Structures are given as structure tokens and as C-alpha cells.
Amino acid sequence: MCLTLVLSMMSGVFAQELVLGGNMEDPTAWTIYNMGSTDEPDFEFNYKLDTLAAGSGGCLNVYGGSASYTNLLFWQELTLVAGQTYKISGAFRDLSRELSNFWCQIYISTEAPVDGVDWTPLAGANSDMRLSFNTWNGCGPGVDGTFQDNSCEGSGPLYTTPGDSGQDVTVYYGLKIGVWTDSGEKEFDVLVDELSLVPLEGTAVGKNSEKTIVRFRLEQNFPNPFNPATVIPYTLKNKAFITIAIYNVLGEHVATLVDRELPAGEYKVQWDGHNQSGREANNGIYFYEMKADGVGQTRKMMLMR
């Protein structure tokens, strides 16, 4: 197999694009599963009759309706590096403007999907959901924007690959689109484009030469939402070099709170809502990531001034 490497501009540097065919013009990079639908929707790659504000060229158009259940998965297998953090992004537009009982979700999982059944990892149906439009949670209708800015569900646009730092890990990247209803037919007509997964600048990792198993736990910040400051607790089970950094919803670095070697123990660090230059950060959702000897964990918080 011949793989073409696509380079995209991120924060002034070139980063390798991992998603093949993310411009949604060529279907050959994607495997398409019907996940138990009673009514299978239609779709068209390289659709050009409508455009997205955050898209370019052709896109993926998925449309249909159901009086019961429809669920379609577009997925591909990727090889990532354990301990590396990646930035997820994509464009989305609702053409119908009346979405109901609808979802459009980006997943990344180490568990492969199975044709004919819903993709439900062992840890739970939504355990590997990263970014999601979901009308039950109030987002999707009328949107012409991006997954990273406008979705309302999921663990966020930053993904840190599990496993032993520096080792290759097979993951499955998927886009799930569907509706469920028991109260009359629900229709949808949406566009998806520019699906992307690139290494986050400054998070390259290497193998731990001492083969030390790093054990740590990153807790949820409190209070959350917060104003003006919040506390982030974390625990180290053994000595490790750690960093704790804050990122915005675009994956851009906001501030570094910890960057040093620490012995085993329980710790807390405070973020006062300012960026690295000392300026107040804007209201909104932020992600804080802890990395210990290259192994990472990310959580979400909200600043409300």
C-alpha cells in the first residue's frame, strides 16, 4: 500500500495529517458500516451543490430520515504513537436547520468497529467519543461551523494515545451519523468536511529508556465552572518528570502550570485564569493535560467570568 503524507499548517509549523481522505472528496480511504439501521441513510462524497463556512472544495453529504433508527459509520484504521497528543478538528453544517433526535460524532478508539452493530467500546457507548453534535444536548440545528468550536458533547479536541510511551498503537477513527425516534419520522441533511488529526505542537514523545511504568491520576478541577481561579489535583505513584498545561478549544497552548520532576505524592496546582503572558483568558471551555514521562491524560473545564 502506498500512503500519501499530507502536510497541514498548524501554529506556524508543518504537522503531519493522519486522517486520509479527510477532505471527504475520495471515499476510498473510508470503510462504511451500517450499524444496525432500520432505515439506511444516503450519502455522497465530493458533494459540491452546497458549501460549509469552514470547508473547502467537495464535502460529504449525508441525508435521510427514519421513523425508528438509522446509524452510519465512516471509519479508518490509523497508527499513532503512545503518549503523543493529537488535535482533532472538522467542519459541520446542518442543511435542514431542523435537526431532531440526531447525532454526528467523532470517535477514536483502540477497539475496532463491527459491521451491523453499534460501535460500543468495552468502557461504555460514549467512552471514546471525542466531539459530538447531539440535539438532545442542544447542539446541531442550524450550525455551520466546526466540531471543535460548536459541538456540545465528548471529551474534547485533544487525544493522547494510550500505551507505553513511544510505541506504535493501532486506533480506529470514526464518524457516526444517525437518528433515533419513536414519535414519527425524523429527517436530516448534513455536510461534513476537513476531518483532521495532527500531532499537537510540542508533544512529541520518546520511549522511556529506563522502562519505568509511570502511574498517575489527574483529577477533575474544582470548582468547575470557575471564576476567577480553580484547583487541579493530581497524584503520582512514583517519581516522574511531569507537565501540566492548559489548551483552548483550538488546541492552542494557553499556559503551563507545572514543568518539573516530582517525587511520588498527592499534589494540587491552581490556575488563575491567565495565559502564559499574564493576560486574562477569555470565557469558555479549556482542556488541561498532564503528562508524566510522556504518558498523558486530558480533562475539560469551563471558565465563566
Whole-model pTM: value is: 0.67
Do 284 and 275 touch, CB atoms closer than 8 A?
no
Q: Where in the chain is the domain with CATH 2.60.40.4070?
A: 216-303
> What's the confidence (pLDDT) of residue 231?
95
> What's the confidence (pLDDT) of residue 133?
93
| Cell reading at 279 | 493576560
Average pLDDT across each block of 10 residues of the chain; the chain has 305 residues. List them in order. Answer: 34 65 95 88 95 94 85 94 89 90 92 86 68 88 93 87 85 93 81 93 46 66 93 89 90 93 92 95 91 77 90
Round to whole Å and give the CA distance between 254 and 100: 36
> What's the confidence (pLDDT) of residue 215?
65
What CATH number does the domain located at 216-303 have?
2.60.40.4070
CATH class of the domain defined by 6-199: mainly beta
> What's the confidence (pLDDT) of residue 36?
81
> What's the confidence (pLDDT) of residue 226?
94
> What's the confidence (pLDDT) of residue 137?
82
> What's the confidence (pLDDT) of residue 7?
35
Core vs surface per residue 127-136: b (16+ CB within 10 A) or e: ebbbbbbbbe
> What's the confidence (pLDDT) of residue 97?
84
Preceding omega of 233 cis (within 30 degrees of 0): no
> What's the confidence (pLDDT) of residue 207?
43
79 Cα distance to chain centroid: 16
